[in-house]
Structure 1
Amino acid sequence: MDFMFFLFGFKEFNKPLKDVGSVACYCGNCHNQSAHAIRSINTVTLFFIPVLPFYFSKRLKCSICGASGDINDEIINRLRSGQPVAIG
């Protein structure tokens, strides 16, 4: 008897936003200056291999507690000029 099985899953990949720099921002969850701007890509995986990206976003993510929040073009422009922002 032959049978097939597929192992599907979801994975999030994060990279720092290159054009913003490394401005440390305030995290409203853990109250530290540890949030940084990242580009997040969510993908469908097959046997732990990413095969289909389905969601792209730019967000602030805290490196201590993991809290995150989406950012828009206005916030990105503030970060480019060196002004810190906060995760709400």
Structure 2
Amino acid sequence: MTTLELIYVLFSIALSMSGLAMVSIAANAYLRTERREMLLLSLGFSLIVAAAIATTVSAFAQDFDNAVVLLTVNYAITTVGYLFVIASVIGEP
């Protein structure tokens, strides 16, 4: 594994761990308050983390071939995750 690949993995792990912390915090808040916003926040960060993990695993599994397809799928899933995060912030009118 090259230095750049190692750095990529480390940043992916850091992103995933911090995202999972957000999922845990939001899920706990939802269980305590049953507020829809916390459920949306939890779902949003779950998708963002899933996209990060899937992209890293897929990149190494495909030896970094088809990077355009890989990044397009990553951005699509991440965008949907951020839409859930935005919906949680906007809340109910």
**Is the structural similarity TM-score above 0.5?**
no
User: Which protein is bigger by CA-based radius of gyration?
Assistant: 1
* Structure that is richer in strand per residue: 1
* Structure that is richer in helix per residue: 2
- TM-score where L is the length of structure 2: 0.25
